[in-house]
Amino acid sequence: MSQIIIGVGEYGVSNRPGDEIKTFALGSCVAVIFLDPRTGTLGMLHVALPESEINKTKSLDKPGYFADTGIPALLAEMARLGCSPQGQGMVVKLCGGANIMDTNEIFQIGKCNALSIKKLLWIYEMDVVAEDLGGTFSRSVSVSVETGEIILSSPGRPDWKL
């Protein structure tokens, strides 16, 4: 069994049953999780911002940083393992999108991230089957490639499943 750690703006995929994909400290960031039941492939993306227009250079170096470049990059990586490049048949789940430091709710980056992701998924005709979004606390997310089970954790809270 190996752990694949996903940092901010990164994504990873695996179809090895013993693997686990994990990301830490999702504040306003959102984890996008794709599971292809046909191939047993799991992918996770750690989105920091909704749109790459604000920094085209960064989107070229780290496409996973933005929703609009990260989702196509993750789908392309999963396609290399036999998944549909357009995401057909994928099970989609979302976690994160909290409002942690913006107490006056001026920027609402977490909400903007989640809405941008959902808009893009709608274009791909992909439905979100489960989500754990919002709130005022960060989350870490761990997903088993074998079972697809998602465990979330946050300081001072018991772990929970999505």
Q: How much is the mean pLDDT over the chain? A: 90
Task: Look at residue 55 in the predicted model and tell me its pLDDT.
Answer: 59
pLDDT band at 91 (very low <50, low <70, confident <90, very high): very high
Does the pLDDT of residue 102 top 80, yes or no? no
What tens digit of pLDDT does each residue of 107-135 get? 688 888 999 999 999 999 999 999 999 98
CATH topology of domain 3-161: 60s Ribosomal Protein L30; Chain: A; (3.30.1330)
147, burial (CB in 10 Å: exposed 0-12, middle 13-18, buried 19+):
exposed
**Contact (Cβ atoms closer than 8 angstroms) between residue 21 and residue 4:** yes
* Known catalytic membership, residue 29: yes
Residue % of the chain over a pLDDT of 70? 91
Ranges 54-58, 146-150, 155-159: which has the least confidence: 54-58
Q: What is the pLDDT of residues 1-19, one digit of tens each?
A: 699 999 999 999 999 999 9
| Between residues 59 and 78, the one the model is more confident about | 78
Among candidates 39, 38, 48, 44, which has minimal Cα distance to 8? 48
- Where along the chain do its domains lie? 3-161
Direct distance between the N- and C-terminal alpha carbons of the chain, in angstroms, rounded to an integer: 22
In this prediction, residue 149 carries a pLDDT of 95
Residue 59 has pLDDT above 70, yes or no: no
> Distance between CA 155 and CA 125 in Å, rounded?
35
pTM check: above 0.75: yes
Residues 6+ apart with CB under 8 A from 125: 86, 87, 88
What pLDDT is attached to residue 38?
94
